[in-house]
Amino acid sequence: MSTPSAAHDDAGSRTDEDGGGRGGRLGRIVRAPLGWMVTGIVGVGLVSGLTATGPGPVPVLGAVVAVAVYWVVMRRVAGRSTPEIARQGAGREALRGGAVGLGFVLVSALLITVFGGYDFSWAGNGFFSVVWSAAMVQAGAAVTEELMFRGLALQALEQRWGSRAAIVITGLFFGVAHLGAPGAGAWSALAIALEAGVMLGVAFLWRRSIWFVAGLHFAWNTAEQLLGIPVSGHTPQGLFTVDTHGSALLSGGTFGLEASIVPVLIGVLLTVRMVVLAGRSGGLRPARRPGRR
């Protein structure tokens, strides 16, 4: 493509060399997959940090703002469309994901109870206040975490190195990110990497919907909290209290259900099934070819 004048070419070249303008070095770095990934994670993470523990509906309002930040980064910085956060069908996808997450937790908790690991009793806390608080906090956490891990990190790494590498990297990072939780250790990090990091990543590749994985994540954590089971090491105020018995490998110990072998095995089975479904639907993508953004 020709330019109006040699002077314009010289000016454009100087702008690029200095790193300014949309075509500058900094601009190219930010618009590259790893660049917009970091930009988006910083933006969404900042919103989450300011609103996650706020009163009442503040975490949910934070999630709304986080979605807006995500949209701006993807559309204006990455230059991508955002079908993964489309409003059409969002409720349906969230309900589907919620059904999977609720079933996952209830079946896991039931099996652990049957094998003698859990003993539940009614806590006597206010029903509506506990449910409302849990729903607000977990909805905000589910949306913001899925935007960061699946929307930004997984899709950026997938664009750079393909779906399989992206799943492995984000799954491991998800496990490492939980090492700072109370009661965490090498086993809990590995367990949550497999049953949450990898499973949620594959679930996203299957449905290509943030709402599906956010619904799964929300139902999972909310069900745990209402049952009184520690959520990643944090003991919640739930409708029940739970006493653990026997091996920590069965009950998950102080870290909670995620460190139990039961949900790990169930999660692996679900992951295998969703990998097959993602493959059939074309959700597994190869690494980009050289020269493509």
- pLDDT at position 6 over 80: no
Which residue type occupies 223? A
Chain segment 104-121, per-residue pLDDT in tens: 999 999 999 999 999 999
Q: Calculate the CA dihedral of residues 54, 60, 63, 65 and round it to 10 degrees.
A: -80
- Which is more confidently placed, 24 or 222? 222
Distance CA 170, CA 163 (A): 11
> Which residue did the predictor score with more confidence, 8 or 75?
75
Q: Is the pLDDT of residue 267 over 50?
A: yes
pLDDT digits (tens, 9 = 90+) for 200-243: 999 999 999 999 999 999 999 999 999 999 988 888 889 999 99
Give the closest residue to 139 by CA, choosing from 45, 214, 201.
214
Q: Which residue did the predictor score with more confidence, 13 or 45?
A: 45
User: Residue 216 to residues 97, 170, 196: CA-CA distances in angstroms?
Assistant: 4, 17, 10
Q: Is pTM beyond 0.75 here?
A: yes
Residue 168 or 10, more confident: 168
Give the separation between CA 27 and CA 19, rounded to whole angstroms.
7
How many residues in total does the chain contain? 293
Cα 141 to chain centroid, rounded: 9
Distance between CA atoms of residues 192 and 195, nearest Å: 5
Q: Enumerate residues 6+ apart whose C-beta is below 8 A from 188.
A: 178, 181, 233, 252, 255, 258, 259
Instruction: Specify the pLDDT at position 289.
Output: 62
- b vs e for 111-147, b when ≥16 Cβ sit within 10 Å of the residue's Cβ? bbeeeebbebeebeeeeeebbebbbbbbbbbbbbbbb
| Other CB atoms within 10 Å distance of the CB of residue 167 | 25
Phi, psi of 119 (to 5 degrees): -140, 115
Q: 34 or 235: which carries more pLDDT confidence?
A: 34
> What distance in Å separates the CA atoms of residue 107 and residue 40, rounded to the nearest whole number?
35
